[in-house]
Structure 1
Amino acid sequence: MMKLVSHLLTILVIVSSIIELNSEEELTETRFGYPPPRHGLALLKWYVKTCIDNNMVALCDPVAGVFGFHVFHNSGPLLPKLKDKHTYAYFTVGNLHYQHAEDLPYEVRKYYDRHNQLSNMDRVIVKLNKNKNKIEEIYISEHYNPPRTFQLGARLIEDLRRTENSKQIIL
């Protein structure tokens, strides 16, 4: 019984400790997705500019598996448990080994080396409202590592969506 309680408390601490990033400066401080051969920063920028609109509607269909999207079962759990699995689901993209990942843009895949784990460790995870085709939350993770998993705040998403006017993240 004590083991179960301890395990449940550990899960609660992990889930409740996801840090929300609200600025490019905070994102830079995490060192997520760089330097090369890491691909997460390029993946994240591509995702927010290409796969969602200003209202967070999904433009790249995660359910269809485009760009290597696939269901993320959150068996760890890494992210908050879904209360309504009929309406919501988590999907992940960024595994360059996965089917259709070759359709990701060159900027995301250019440093990929099947023999170098660093070149395939970054993931973008989204919470999709299947009824509205709307992305409710966006997370970034270094191969599903709880202390290296972050939620993106609305302001950061907006900043990253700006094309030429986006601040350059210092590597």
Structure 2
Amino acid sequence: MPETLNELKRLQRSQFGQPEPRHGLRLLFWFANELIEFISNQMFATVHPNTAVFGFHPFHNRPDHDGDILLPETENSDYYVVGNLKNTNAYQFPDYVTEKYTGLQDDSNTDRIIVDMDGCNVYRVYVTRHLGRSNFSHSETYRISQGLISVIKKMEDLEDFLSKIDPSYRLHSLEMDLPRLPPVNHMCQPKHCTASLSGNRDTSIQPSLTQSGNMYQPKESPVSQSGDRDPPKDSFLAH
């Protein structure tokens, strides 16, 4: 079970995305600020990963050569991974995510974010390090708590975030441009979502989507009082 990082100091100690040219911290800042919205203490994505926007694609959580899976099994949701700067849709990232990418076989494209989702309902967020062609480092995989996502989202800017992870960090001639969001037919609409205002989980309600044309509108998604989804009990999707 991956360790949960719930504060900036623990993210700092994890060494995720460090040192540059690793892009994981920039990727995480982008994800928290541009891809996540909070409604009634529940996380929702502003884009639907099925569209492959920003290079999102399914993560199948297959066993590695030792027979171990990277993440907990899920039942009613899917995993999606993002962060590969070689992907044909990586051009949609803002420049501050991609500017350290060298295109070489080095650490500038090693970090990924994996999201446990049902439609645009976001249940869990993980960060990890990609190794080789298809493997991920178990020892460098962490869950990012909903609370830490909220903290990052409230930070003043990227420089503020990076300097708190590495106090010696200084941005040099960096102009943060807005991310190029996809056309509207790729986007979830969390403003139309509803969630339990009491924060109590109703196990009789399963998170789902309604689809009107190409617009995705997540329905009611149960959450626990802590804001985190209850641990899954059964098996993961087939792949």
Question: Structures share a fold, TM > 0.5?
Answer: yes
Equivalent residue number for residue 142 of structure 1 = 129
Q: Distance in 2 between matches of 1:124 and 1:25?
A: 19
Question: 2 CA distance for matches of 1:99 and 1:127?
Answer: 23
1:99 is displaced (CA, Å) by 2.2
Q: Amino acid of the residue matched to residue 114 of structure 1?
A: G
Aligned to 2:26: 42
> What's the secondary structure of 1:97's corresponding residue?
coil
Aligned partner of residue 128 in structure 2, secondary structure:
strand
Report whether the alignment pairs 1:26 with 2:10: yes
Q: Provide the residue aligned with 1:163 in structure 2.
A: 155
Which ranges of 4 or more aligned residues in structure 1 deviate by more than 4 Å? none
TM-score of the superposition, structure 1-length normalised? Answer: 0.82
Q: Where does 1:82-121 land on structure 2 (aligned, <5 Å)? A: 82-84=74-76, 88-121=77-110
CA deviation after TM superposition for structure 1 residue 31, in Å = 1.0
Name the CA distance, whole Å, in 1 between partners of 2:151 and 2:165.
11
Deviation at 1:105, TM superposition (A): 0.9
Gaps of 5+ in 1: 1-15
Q: Equivalent residue of 1:27, what SS?
A: helix
Q: Rg bigger for which structure?
A: 2
- 1:107-165, CA deviations, whole angstroms, 9 ceiling, x for partnerless residues? 110011121330000000000112xx211000000112111000011221111111318
More helix by share: 1
- What TM-score, normalized to structure 2? 0.60
Distance 2:27 2:88 in 1: 16
Give SS of 1:53's match: strand
| Aligned CA-pair RMSD | 1.5
The letter for the 2-side match of 1:79 is L
How many residue pairs match? The answer is 150
Ranges in structure 2 where 5+ consecutive residues have no aligned partner: 64-68, 131-135, 170-239
Identity %, equivalent residues = 34
Structure 1 counterpart of 2:89, which letter? H
Q: How far did residue 62 of structure 1 move?
A: 1.1
- Secondary structure at the residue paired with 1:47? helix
**1:138 is matched by which residue type in structure 2?**
V
Q: CA deviation at 1:46?
A: 0.4
